[in-house]
Amino acid sequence: MTAYERITIGDSIVFGAHRFTAEEIKRFAVAYDPQPFHTDEAAAAASHFGALCASGWHTSAVMMRLFVKYFASEIERTKARGEPAPQLGPSPGFDDLKWLKPVYAGDEIAFSGTIIAKRESRSRPGWGIVSIETTGVNQKGEPVFAYTGHVFAAMAEKT
């Protein structure tokens, strides 16, 4: 993923993978989503989930961390080629976020994305909006997460 003009619909992106530990699942949940099946192993075992699982917001936040890490590496690769570094702005929102299966303690989730749309912003001259269909798959190959994110990307004359 580079400057807006160079982004092509159909481009694919590998974000990377993360293994969720029980400690971090509980730490996130205590701070933001203190439902018993996210904060306590025994309560989770007695719930319909059957075991401790991550808050969906935690799964989503880890996806974002891996995307930002990917994008930082892309900036370095672009600079190394002597091209202007790409720049992202904030996101106006997303659609169709699905927590398809629980993310249990010990699961390793690999995230990747595909560019499905791009358009020039009407309200923000010099910026485009890029849509990325993103999925997260666990170590058994089961999809656990999906969403279509939208993000502002600077056009070349801005970078």
Q: Which parts of this chain interact with another protein (CB under 8 A)?
A: 28, 31-35, 37, 46-49, 55-58, 60-62, 64-65, 68, 87-100, 102, 124, 127, 147, 152
- Other CB atoms within 10 Å distance of the CB of residue 1: 23
- Find the shortest distance in angstroms from Cβ 44 to another protein: 11
Specify the amino acid at residue 69.
K
Residue with smaller CB distance to another protein, 8 or 154: 154
Closer of 8 and 65 to another protein (Cβ): 65
What are the backbone angles phi and psi of residue 82, rounded to the nearest 5°?
A: 80, 15
- Select 8 or 50, whichever has its Cβ closest to another protein: 50
Nearest alpha carbon to residue 16 among 58, 65, 59: 65
**Smallest gap from residue 102 Cβ to another protein (A):** 8
Q: How far is the CB of 32 from another protein (least distance, A)?
A: 4
Residue 148 phi, psi dihedral angles, 5° rounding: -115, 105
Pick the closer one to another protein by CB: 28 or 111. Answer: 28
Single out the residue of 54, 63, 60 nearest to residue 28, CA to CA.
54
Minimum distance between the CB of residue 90 and another protein, rounded to whole angstroms?
6
Token digits of residue 122: 């009407």
